[in-house]
């Protein structure tokens, strides 16, 4: 067998699908090479963000590999099955984006209320000290993302570019950091903090 055949370049679709379903790891790379651009284009068009599309593309192929036993060739071809997985993962990404936007908006509203109250409240200095103390107790990645976001006024995409972290990682650090701060500062219900 030549190198080209091992990588899947010269393998027809049906043989590639058989090898993929059989658990041949080399076939995963070939499947990704052959249909990755299709999945990525669908994700990029739906999400409008290159890095997020890359993340979703990887998640789709990982899900396909892990769930390959659920693929039924009689119900459709492999690219169609991958497209179905991609649509679900894109919907998940859009739902997560909405949740993050709501969380950031809520945190921004809380911050604006606190800022406007600072002129009237003498304990504002104590609040700032408490916030600084709680920020210092966050894990370094969460603290870095929140500092870049709030003090340097960077978007999550800009933070991802600056740090070299995937956009999804930046978003996760921001969400976890904000949730942890809210819990530690007593702004959240105990049930939500325990989750």
Residue 8 in tokens:
């899947």
How far CA 58 is from CA of 3, 44, 47, 142, in Å, comes to 24, 13, 14, 24
The distance from CA 124 to its chain's CA centroid, rounded to whole angstroms, is 35
66-98 pLDDT, tens digit each:
999 999 888 889 999 999 999 999 999 988 888
Q: What pTM value is reported for the model?
A: 0.52
Is 134 inside any structural domain? Answer: yes
Indicate if 126 and 190 belong to the same structural domain.
yes
Residue 116 located in a structural domain:
no
Distance CA 58, CA 89 (A): 10
CB atoms within 10 A of CB 89: 22
pLDDT for 120 equals 55
85 and 127 co-located in one domain: no
Tokens representing 88 are 């679900």
Clarify whether residues 189 and 137 are in a common domain.
Answer: yes
Half-sphere exposure of 194 (CA within 13 A, CB side): 3
What pLDDT score was predicted for residue 90?
93
Looking at the 3D structure of the chain, how many domains does it have?
2
Specify the range with the lowest mean pLDDT, choosing from 5-9, 26-30, 91-95: 5-9
Tens of pLDDT, residue by residue over 114-164, are 555 555 556 666 767 777 788 888 899 999 988 888 888 888 998 998 899
Q: What percent of the chain has a predicted confidence (pLDDT) above 90?
A: 42
Tokens describing residue 142: 């969460």
Contacts of 182 by beta carbon, 8 Å cutoff, 6+ apart = 107, 188, 193
Assess whether 73 and 10 both reside in one domain: yes
**What is the distance between the alpha carbons of residues 157 and 49, in angstroms, rounded to a whole number?**
9
Q: Would you say residue 114 lies in a domain?
A: no
Q: How many CB atoms lie within 10 A of CB 181?
A: 20
The pair of three-digit structure tokens given for residue 53, joined into one six-digit string? 């599309």
User: Domain range for residue 16?
Assistant: 3-93
CATH number for the domain that contains residue 156: 1.10.10.10
The mean pLDDT value for 47-54 works out to: 91
Calpha distance 83→42 (Å, rounded): 8
CATH number, domain of 42, equals 1.10.1740.10
Asked whether residue 68 is domain-assigned, the answer is yes
Question: Which pLDDT score, from 0 to 100, does residue 183 have?
Answer: 82
In a domain, 113, yes or no: no
Does residue 109 lie within any of the structural domains?
Answer: no
DSSP 145-195: HHHHHHTS---HHHHHHHH---HHHHHHHHHHHHHHHHHHTT-S-HHHHH-
For residue 115, tell me if it sits in a domain: no
């Amino acid at each position: 067998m030549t190198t080209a055949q091992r990588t899947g370049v010269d393998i027809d679709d049906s043989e590639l699908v058989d090898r993929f379903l059989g658990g041949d790891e080399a076939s995963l790379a070939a499947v990704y090479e052959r249909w990755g651009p299709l999945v990525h284009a669908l994700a990029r068009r739906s999400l409008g963000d290159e890095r997020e599309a890359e993340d979703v593309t990887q998640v789709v192929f990982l899900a396909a590999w892990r769930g390959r036993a659920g693929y039924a060739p009689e119900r459709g071809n492999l690219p169609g099955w991958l497209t179905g997985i991609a649509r679900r993962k894109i919907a998940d990404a859009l739902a997560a984006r909405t949740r993050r936007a709501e969380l950031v908006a809520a945190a921004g509203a809380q911050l604006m209320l606190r800022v406007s109250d600072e002129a009237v409240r003498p304990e504002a200095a104590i609040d700032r000290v408490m916030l600084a103390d709680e920020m210092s107790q966050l894990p370094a990645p969460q603290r870095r993302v929140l500092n870049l976001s709030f003090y340097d006024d960077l978007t999550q995409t800009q933070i991802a570019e600056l740090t070299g972290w995937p956009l999804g990682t930046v978003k996760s650090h921001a969400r976890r950091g904000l949730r942890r701060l809210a819990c530690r500062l007593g702004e959240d219900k105990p049930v939500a903090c325990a989750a």
